[in-house]
Structure 1
């Protein structure tokens, strides 16, 4: 019998994914390696004279690891937390309401479009809009004065709390729609038979939400937490435009990426590279912690089954 030659089409799959890897290698991997390399060099401009690149080892890492680093890291986390907590809570509520068959909400597609629209607006446009609305001579102060609620204009951006709340509100408005859509898709992926069985067994909506919905959408929740955490550590455009790059008042809204941007503009490539590496390490550690914390129960169940066997 003649052996039939098997035709392998695997090479076409590799050819199709090759452009992605080439693009990633050129625009992501090489800059990442170059950033790590520059972090070990003294490379900055003093006046019109450029110093370096001179190898200095870990001097840049030691130089940036001071009070400013921890202050700006704290500012970054505060801005992220006060924006993300209401975002995930409201997104969960909206997602559970929209997909609840008992409520029979009409116009679901319309609401999806409406809540997603702010995500299409550029952060710079959002920041300029809020800067105009909440300035001392802006529409918000005018409305409050005409209603007799205030005696004089409120300087929203003159206090740390006011500035941070404005930044958090902008981040919330820009991203809660995207989070809601993802959580709706996750909940819709749960079989309706599970909810019907829970209803027959007498589960209340609260019990159904906390004991069925939340555990079953845990993978999407983990993804949302991790991507939001990474985005929060990279927060730049909103506080940069709202505070004109100063992080006022008293740099209480000054983030690590704003500091990194100013070092790149100086330029001081060595210290900027060190901050980038620190951010990479902090992001990785926090993402691992979030993943382990969210999936702790699953790991315990797997260990119990393994020990039984």
Structure 2
């Protein structure tokens, strides 16, 4: 009886430690989520000095989001810039992770290099965007350098071309997050039993075979986690393109992301459409995350 009561007494501390998380989750996540869904069914915006609503309109806001054609365009912009940044990011992180965790290389100064590659993640995205905006301006140092070495005869306007703007956004996202991804992948690689690598080497496996046949399959859970979290972060892309394009998403709205589109509704105080768009983004994020998880899970079962 005493032993059972002691177990119960210990268990209560687990629930006590969960109280702060539960309170924060309810106040800052669950209640705002419910409020957003509730507001999405109302017409609520300001026209000049006149406040319209809130008036219940049902699914009218959702119909407006679907029929105006902006959602697919901005979703495509967001996904293109995320993919352009994620692919080189994951490749670079895998190479660096394999490099740093290979005991046969006996690399010196690993702590220093690990710190250096993580530093960009500590820089504010707004500062990063301002740096790139200055570097790639018409009169910036990049244009000056390219003209001097003969690549261009006159300044190339990076901000006036969809490919260059998307490329800059993708490059910044890659540089800011590859360090964090490298640390996560390294943690996964260090958790693999070294005896597996030793056995493979004894059997005559090459470094590439060890990487593709042992490291990658055992690293799958970490890769799935990195991919899903990166996807969620990509769908929430805002600060870098917002500052780089001054909130316009130019040229021709080719760099306008879903969150930038949402921010425009919030800025104009159209809370009904903003709520409907937020719900759409929640559903899109859930569906894409589920697809990624299911696809990787099927590959693992095979």
Match of 1:203 among 183, 190, 205: 205
- Of 6-15 and 116-125, more deviation after overlay is shown by 6-15
Alignment correspondent of 2:289: 287
Cα shift readout 1:241-270 (whole Å, capped 9, x = no counterpart)? 000000010000001110100000101011
Structure 2 portions without partners, runs of 5+: none
Q: CA deviation at 1:4?
A: 4.2
Equivalent runs, 1:169-208 vs 2, <5 Å: 169-208=171-210
> What per-residue deviation string (whole Å, max 9, x for no partner) do you get for residues 29-70 of structure 1?
100000000011111111111111111111100001131111
- In the alignment, what sits opposite 1:24? 25
Superposition pairs for residues 1-309 of structure 1, below 5 Å?
A: 4=2, 6-7=5-6, 8-66=9-67, 67-299=69-301
Aligned equivalents of 1:61 and 1:14: distance in 2? 40
Deviation at 1:76, TM superposition (A): 0.5
Q: Distance in 1 between matches of 2:143 and 2:164?
A: 14
Instruction: State the TM-score, normalizing by the size of structure 2.
Output: 0.96
The Cα of 1:28 is off from its aligned counterpart by 0.8
Query: In structure 2, how many angstroms separate the alpha carbons of the residues matched to 1:142 and 1:299?
Result: 54
Distance 1:200 1:4 in 2: 55
Deviation at 1:10, TM superposition (A): 2.0
Q: Residue 154 of structure 1 aligns to a residue in which SS?
A: coil
Counterpart CA distance in 2 for 1:118 and 1:55 is: 46
Q: Distance in 2 between matches of 1:142 and 1:184?
A: 39
Using the alignment, how far apart are the partners of 2:288 and 2:238 within structure 1?
A: 19
Q: Following the alignment from structure 1 to structure 2, what is the Cα–Cα distance between the partners of residues 97 and 11?
A: 45
What RMSD, in angstroms, separates the aligned Cα atoms of the two structures? 1.1
Residue-pair matches, total: 298
Length-normalised TM-score, structure 1: 0.94
Identify which range, 51-60 or 290-299, moves more after superposition. 290-299
Give distance in 2, aligned partners of 1:299 and 1:41: 46
- Structure 2: distance between partners of 1:157 and 1:196: 52
Of 167-176 and 61-70, more deviation after overlay is shown by 61-70
Tell me, in whole angstroms, the C-alpha distance in 2 between the residues paired with 1:240 and 1:255: 9
Distance 2:2 2:34 in 1: 48
Q: CA deviation at 1:149?
A: 2.8
Structure 2: how far apart are the matches of 1:87 and 1:298?
23
Give the C-alpha shift of residue 147 in structure 1. Answer: 2.5
In 2, the alpha carbon distance for the partners of 1:4 and 1:150 equals 83
